[in-house]
Amino acid sequence: MNMKSIMFIGLVFIILNMCCSHRALTSSYQDKKLENSPVGFVFIDMTRINNQEGTVSILGQNRDTILHLQNAIISINEVDYKICKEEHLYKKLVSAEVFEPEYGLFILKCYETTNSYYKVELNGNIALISNSLINKCIQFKTLEQYVMESYPVPTQQNPLRMNPDENASIVANFNKWTYLPVKIDGDWVKIVDDKDCYSGEAPSSVEIKGWVRWRKDGKFILKVAHTC
């Protein structure tokens, strides 16, 4: 083999290696992005299932069933529990965005939607839920829908501000009240105090309103509540 042939083979090897490395970096970056940036949330109606009106299965990435809901029964790792009467036995086995069977709430972060499935997070791992339009026990909400259909909760880290600006003044005593969403403007949501649901003895005598971030640097950061 002459020197030119050796140099050519070496060049091809280097190019192939660079391509493989680039694909690996791209995949790693995408995985990290998925972990930090959900595209929405999947709601599972546990009340409907408890009334024996539907079925939901959550699968692992190798398509094994890790959680199944049907006929007022929740099956976790092939062990059956009664949804209402045995919540104290199984609740600690499920880690999700929201898991409150008593209130019929089961909400999971969703990182991808296709015509076949929702890719969600359950117990810190990626799981799959069939994307069936006829299954009334499952509902997907975009991030914007999620914000507008919940109770936004300002915090010390993400306070209520007078205007949708990081440098705007913070509304005094904002943490004394509960809030309703009014509208979304970019990465901010305008909220107003809820006169029908309040934490003190009476609602505020004046309107409390302002803006709180729901997204920052492409990441969902808003704390929300789902019950009054």
**Confidence tier at 37 by pLDDT (50, 70, 90):** confident
Task: Work out how many domains the chain is built from and give that number.
Answer: 2
pTM over 0.85: no
Residues 156, 140 within the same domain: no
HSE of 59, CA atoms in CB hemisphere, 13 A: 12
Condensed to tens digits (0 to 9), the pLDDT of residues 53-99 reads 899 999 998 899 999 999 999 999 899 999 999 999 999 999 999 99
Residue-wise burial string across 147-174, b where 16 or more C-beta atoms lie within 10 A, e elsewhere:
bbebbbbbeeebbbbeebeeeeeebeeb
Residues 65, 93 within the same domain: yes
Residues 51, 139 within the same domain: yes
**Which of these three, 129, 144, 159, is where a domain ends?**
144
- pLDDT at residue 227, as a whole number: 86
Residues 140, 155 within the same domain: no
Closest Cα to residue 118, out of 166, 179, 202, 58? Answer: 58
Average of per-residue pLDDT values in the chain: 86
Residues 104, 57 within the same domain: yes
Distances (CA, A) of 192 to 64, 90, 142, 162, 174: 45, 37, 22, 11, 10
Condensed to tens digits (0 to 9), the pLDDT of residues 16-31 reads 343 333 322 222 233 4
How many percent of the chain have pLDDT more than 90? 73
Residue 44 is assigned to a structural domain of this protein:
yes
Residues 106, 167 within the same domain: no
Residues 165, 95 within the same domain: no
Alpha helices in 136-185 (DSSP H): 143-148
Residue 183 and residue 189: Cα distance in Å, rounded? Answer: 6
Condensed to tens digits (0 to 9), the pLDDT of residues 93-149 reads 999 999 999 999 999 999 999 999 999 999 999 999 998 877 899 999 999 999 999
Residue 7 has pLDDT above 90, yes or no: no
**Which of these three, 88, 118, 144, is where a domain ends?**
144
CB-based contacts of 106, cutoff 8 Å, min separation 6? 43, 44, 45, 46, 96, 98, 99, 100
CB-based contacts of 85, cutoff 8 Å, min separation 6? none
- pLDDT at residue 157, as a whole number: 97
203 vs 81 pLDDT, higher one: 81
- pLDDT at residue 73, as a whole number: 96
**Domain of 79, in residue numbers:** 40-144
Residues 67, 122 within the same domain: yes
Residues 111, 167 within the same domain: no
**Which of these three, 144, 167, 189, is where a domain ends?**
144
Q: Are 37 and 218 in contact (CB under 8 A)?
A: yes
Residue 64 is assigned to a structural domain of this protein:
yes
Residue 32 has pLDDT above 50, yes or no: no
Look at the chain and count its residues.
228
Residues 165, 109 within the same domain: no
> Phi/psi of residue 145, each to 5°?
-60, -40
Residue 49 is assigned to a structural domain of this protein:
yes
Residues 76, 125 within the same domain: yes
Residue 184 and residue 178: Cα distance in Å, rounded? Answer: 18
Residues 90, 162 within the same domain: no
